[in-house]
């Protein structure tokens, strides 16, 4: 029996209670794809806080503590400035707030590229400090040695090919990848290299749809699309994007709610009540007995 943190306003907002559910595992996710087919597509969303994890956990197979928190949480221009400290803090919060989904934490830029040994030290720290099940890193064939090094030492790795946000300075922006035949071939080759090195799953991001399909068909492990294809083995989105918390979102995002508008309306009403002295009312104040 694991522990989750659920809302309990009688005590605290993060009161630990036992959860009668076993957490999914990396092998269980890997085994979803059998003979190149995934009967039940994998559901993954990003999460950065304990409360967000509580709300998403029951509906997701994977929760990704993405380095997209740089833009979403910290207002940074890209994921490049994100630090290992940030990832460790938010990863631990998401693990505390979940009990069902497999939690994967992004390796931030600069924490793994220099050598497999550097990558192991960073990944080991994330597993120790967060309790997560594995890490995700960007890059294709160039990172295959590192993926093999980590997996051989007990650290599950999720790969990431196609549009790799940490390489935004080299790519020159966030445009879709794979429009040239050479680039398309490289993306597929990169995915094969990661799968052969032992990646348990691979994210393919921001590629023209035929490339996402080709990657899915080329590797034995599950392929999770974001701006890819419905024919991928699963899908991931940044939660704040699909919930409508930002005005502008990428083309590949479907907005399932408009929470940004709802929050603005609620805050506007609160402000009006405060200025008109309608809040707090008798229900929100303590009266003499």
Q: What are 144-168's pLDDT values in tens digits? A: 999 999 999 999 999 999 988 776 6
pTM attached to this predicted model: 0.92
Q: Show Cβ contacts of residue 267 under 8 Å, excluding neighbours closer than 6 positions.
A: none
pLDDT digits (tens, 9 = 90+) for 52-92: 999 999 999 999 999 999 999 999 999 999 999 999 999 99
Structure tokens at 40: 């039940």
Task: Assign 240 a pLDDT band (cuts: 50, 70, 90).
Answer: very high
Please state, in angstroms and rounded to a whole number, the distance separating the CA atoms of residues 210 and 200: 22
pLDDT at residue 212 greater than cutoff 50: yes
Specify the residue for token string 């997560």.
132
Any binding-site annotation on 138?
yes
Report how far Cα 32 is from the mean position of its chain's Cα atoms.
Answer: 19
128 belongs to an annotated ligand binding site:
no
Query: Residue 219 to residues 62, 144, 183, 231: CA-CA distances in angstroms?
Result: 20, 14, 18, 14
pLDDT for the residue numbered 26: 98
136 marked among binding-site residues: yes
- CA 237 to the chain's CA centroid: 8
> What topology does CATH give the domain 22-284?
TIM Barrel (3.20.20)
108: Cβ contacts below 8 Å, ≥ 6 apart:
67, 79, 82, 83, 84, 86, 87, 166
**Confidence label for 173 from pLDDT (cuts 50, 70 and 90):** low
Question: pLDDT tens-digit profile of 9-51?
Answer: 455 566 555 455 689 999 999 999 999 999 999 999 999 999 9
How far, CA to CA in Å, does 7 sit from each of 59, 120, 287? 17, 36, 26
The residue ranges of every structural domain in the chain are 22-284
- Kind and range of the H or E run holding 268: helix 259-275
Catalytic residue among 129, 145, 183, 205: 205
Q: Is 205 a catalytic residue?
A: yes
């Amino acid at each position: 029996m694991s522990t989750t943190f659920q809302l309990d306003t009688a005590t605290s907002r993060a009161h630990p209670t036992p959860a009668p559910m076993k957490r999914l595992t990396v092998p269980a996710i890997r085994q979803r794809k059998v003979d190149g087919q995934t009967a039940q597509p994998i559901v993954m969303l990003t999460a950065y806080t304990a409360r967000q994890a509580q709300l998403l956990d029951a509906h997701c197979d994977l929760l990704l503590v993405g380095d997209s928190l740089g833009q979403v949480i910290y207002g940074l221009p890209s994921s490049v400035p994100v630090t290992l400290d940030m990832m460790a803090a938010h990863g631990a919060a998401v693990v505390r707030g979940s009990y069902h989904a497999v939690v994967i934490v992004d390796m931030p830029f600069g924490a793994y590229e220099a050598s497999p040994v550097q990558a192991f030290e960073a990944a080991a720290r994330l597993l120790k400090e967060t309790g997560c099940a594995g890490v995700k890193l960007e890059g294709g064939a160039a990172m295959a040695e590192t993926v093999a090094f980590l997996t051989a030492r007990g650290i599950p790795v999720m790969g990431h090919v196609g549009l790799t946000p940490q390489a935004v300075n080299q790519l020159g922006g966030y445009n879709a990848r794979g429009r040239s035949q050479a680039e398309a071939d490289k993306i597929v080759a990169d995915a094969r290299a990661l799968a052969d090195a032992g990646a348990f799953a691979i994210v393919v991001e921001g590629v023209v749809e035929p490339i996402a399909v080709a990657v899915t068909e080329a590797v034995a492990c599950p392929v999770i699309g974001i701006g890819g294809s419905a024919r991928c083995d699963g899908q991931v989105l940044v939660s704040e994007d699909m919930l409508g918390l930002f005005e502008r979102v990428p083309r590949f995002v479907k907005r399932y709610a408009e929470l940004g508008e709802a929050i603005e309306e609620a805050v506007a009403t609160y402000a009006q009540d405060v200025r008109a002295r309608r809040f707090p009312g008798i229900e929100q104040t303590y009266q003499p007995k």
